[in-house]
Structure 1
């Protein structure tokens, strides 16, 4: 069965091909990229100004290290985070966008930016996984950016994430339709 995967930016598609990313990884990155776009649109409506292209690049490359640590496509692990960062840097990606491969699993670290948080959030909510600490941090930043009360921002963000989560079964089916390993 062929299932279309949402596209990633052309430069990212080239990177994924160059590192022989397995089909399931390409599907996952396309799906998280799609969700990041929806998140960015919702956050922009609240007045949050971020580096949209950086978030979209980060969402489309955050797990690229799984092309090196393929076992982490089917079992939990974090070796792919450092490997992805190093892979991106070795292929010419500047520090700022390459960092998402390293930071997407550590949103509580000092120096975490709103862009880091949005990539992390997209990587969770694509499958309807809700992480309170992460959502609270995003809510706080959105409240400051929009000048709205945190409770008001929370209601808007919760509605946005609930809407994204409602489509999680489709996204999970798309990812599952792609093999973990390339059988060429």
Structure 2
């Protein structure tokens, strides 16, 4: 049976930041959670690369996006039923868990914001983590994509339709690999 260590180190998605790997190991996280976090983190890194190439003057806290994607579902350690079923109890639980482990609030927030991109005070970084959490499995969410588009168009002084077309191309490219990411995640058990 695949182990947590294998889920954190083997396969093609890039590895998580060392702090996230250590946290998941300390918490005895289910291997499937680690595989999911790697898949979303990998997509977030792809989005950041795209942003750097297409919006070079845009200031984005890339470290926060990478860490947020790597830990956004950490609350599922406390709510393992949400690994294979619906639920949002993991969101506030994950935020609280990260804070209790000494994670700074600006990094812990993603555990609570990744499912609520319409809330007040949501930043581009929050939106990017939410977007990565959807498109990794080829799920497209028009409202979320429009919010990202609006942020990018405003920041870059571009027409929203131009930004959307470029973003749409990138999301389609990322979505093409969704089956491989889903297979990677599914190959790991939901229990530690």
Measure the CA separation in 1 of the matches of 2:80 and 2:28: 11
Measure the CA separation in 2 of the matches of 1:75 and 1:96: 28
Report what 1:83 is aligned to: 93
Q: Does 1:40 align with 2:83?
A: no
TM-score (norm 1): 0.96
Measure the CA separation in 1 of the matches of 2:51 and 2:165: 12
Report what 2:163 is aligned to: 153
Gaps of 5+ in 1: none
Per-residue CA deviations over 1:11-70 (Å, capped at 9, x if unaligned) read 110000111110000000011000000011112223232000000000000000000100
Q: Is the 8 A contact 1:46 1:146 kept in 2?
A: no
Aligned-partner SS, 1:39: helix
Q: How does 1:6-155 map to 2 (within 5 A)?
A: 6=13, 7-47=15-55, 48-155=58-165
Measure the CA separation in 2 of the matches of 1:141 and 1:42: 15
Deviation of 1:96 after TM superposition, in Å, equals 0.8
Gaps of 5+ in 2: 3-9
Measure the CA separation in 2 of the matches of 1:79 and 1:87: 12
Measure the CA separation in 1 of the matches of 2:168 and 2:16: 26
Q: Which runs of 4+ in 1 moved over 3 A?
A: none
- Let me know the Cα RMSD of the aligned residues: 1.2
Measure the CA separation in 2 of the matches of 1:69 and 1:28: 15
Per-residue CA deviations over 1:150-178 (Å, capped at 9, x if unaligned) read 10000100000000000000000000001
Measure the CA separation in 1 of the matches of 2:80 and 2:33: 9
Q: Is the 8 A contact 1:5 1:30 kept in 2?
A: no
TM-score (norm 2): 0.92
